[in-house]
Structure 1
Amino acid sequence: MSTLRRPRDRRWIGGVCSGLGDRFGMPAGLVRTLFVLSCLLPGPQFVVYIILWIMIPSE
């Protein structure tokens, strides 16, 4: 496992899903898909994404 960082080269919006995928050994596409599917459920998903975008350092 690597440290939690937002990669510069594989970003779509903020690089949060790519960073989480790298950290936990999952493909970034799978993490993005899971995030989009979670948006169908009620909850603060977008707020959590923005907070992670601010808190996770960039490479």
Structure 2
Amino acid sequence: MHTAAMTTSAWSPLCKSLLCDRSIVSFVSNIGGWIEDTAGAWLISSQLKVDQFWSS
């Protein structure tokens, strides 16, 4: 007497190959974006001298 609504879970869409692949690629892309943002801020802050930083 189990219905389809009772046996499905929140993770069931990831059983589909295309959706799973897109989710993984999206996650990896987000990590790349975070790395790029951090590296850019780090590069800019490392190029500033202490006097330039405090005078602005």
Query: What TM-score, normalized by structure 2, do the two folds share?
Result: 0.32
| Max Rg structure | 2
* Structure with bigger RCO (C-alpha 8 Å, 6+ apart): 1
